[in-house]
Amino acid sequence: MIIRRNMIMGAACIAAAGAAYGLRPRRRLTLLADGKIGDIVPATLDDWSAENADGLVQPRTEGELAATLYSEMVGRIYHQASTGKAIMMLIAYGDTQSDLLQLHRPESCYPAVGFRLLSSEPASLPLVGGGTLPVRKVVAEAAARQENILYWTRLGEYLPDSAGEQRKVRLRTAIEGYIPDGALVRFSIVDSDAASSFKVLEEFVQKLLMAVAPKGRPALIGTDLAKQIEV
């Protein structure tokens, strides 16, 4: 009986090891065609112009992990000449997204630097051409500062709108046998009027995506949505 039981247990272990090997990703999916993320996003847009900014709230990383997790981080502040409004943009791009290396969402990194989350809701942003971009709207507060944040994440061809969905996507891509690249794209305005801020952000993002060259859009929003945008 002991020998038989040991044989059954051994067979189960071998099967588990085989299944784990079968789930090991063997290929990569990269939607960033050429160059860098910072090169494909225009620095000027209508009467908006950008300056580089290093002091924005960034995804939580430490030391060498930051360089491993994110291949590139682009921080800019866009100023509108006609109104004086300012939009902060942060794009964090990683060429490897797995269980250990994954995009960190604003709901985790803002509280880590002292912000209190007032709200976090999924939303849909209509794009020119009929497509809809799944985004998330977050309102965070620190002292007398309220930051209204519109962001989305891309993992391979998926656009998960929550941390739970992001975990499911990582499992799905592992089962499908590949490691995708990924991007977190975030825009925000400091203002006490959240509704007005989100309206400005939505219009800005729509125009910005139109201004990105067609070959660069998949790196931001995936191939399917990129194809739907009319030029």
Q: Is the dihedral of CA 86, 87, 93, 99 positive or negative?
A: positive
Q: What is the pLDDT of residues 163-194, one digit of tens each?
A: 888 788 878 877 888 788 889 999 999 999 99
Q: Beta strand 178-180 with 27-29: parallel, antiparallel or unpaired?
A: parallel
| pLDDT higher than threshold 60 for residue 196 | yes
The pLDDT of residue 209 is: 96
Q: What is the pLDDT of residues 210-231, one digit of tens each?
A: 999 999 999 999 999 999 986 5
| Out of 13-17, 111-115, 140-144, least confident range | 13-17
* Residue carrying the six token digits 């880590």: 112
The pLDDT of residue 56 is: 75
Mean pLDDT, residues 15-43 taken together: 68
Lookup: tokens for 143 = 């002292």
Q: Which helix (H) or strand (E) holds 44?
A: strand 44-45
Instruction: Count Cβ atoms within 10 A of the Cβ of residue 58 and give its class: 0-12 exposed, 13-18 middle, 19 or more buried.
Output: middle
State the DSSP code for 45. Answer: E
Q: What is the pLDDT of residues 115-168, one digit of tens each?
A: 999 999 999 999 988 899 999 999 999 988 999 999 999 998 999 988 888 788
Which of 176, 122, 115 shows the shortest CA–CA distance to 146?
115
Percent of the chain with pLDDT over 90: 51
Of the ranges 1-15, 19-33, 59-73, 88-102, the best mean pLDDT one = 88-102
Lookup: tokens for 134 = 């799944």
| pLDDT higher than threshold 70 for residue 112 | yes
The pLDDT of residue 167 is: 82
Q: Beta strand 116-126 with 48-52: parallel, antiparallel or unpaired?
A: unpaired
The pLDDT of residue 39 is: 92
- Give pTM, 2 decimals: 0.81
Give the pLDDT band (50/70/90) at residue 105: confident
The pLDDT of residue 178 is: 75
The pLDDT of residue 27 is: 73
- CA contacts within 13 A on the Cβ side of 79: 6
Rounded Cα–Cα distance for residues 117 and 142 (Å): 9
| pLDDT higher than threshold 60 for residue 97 | no
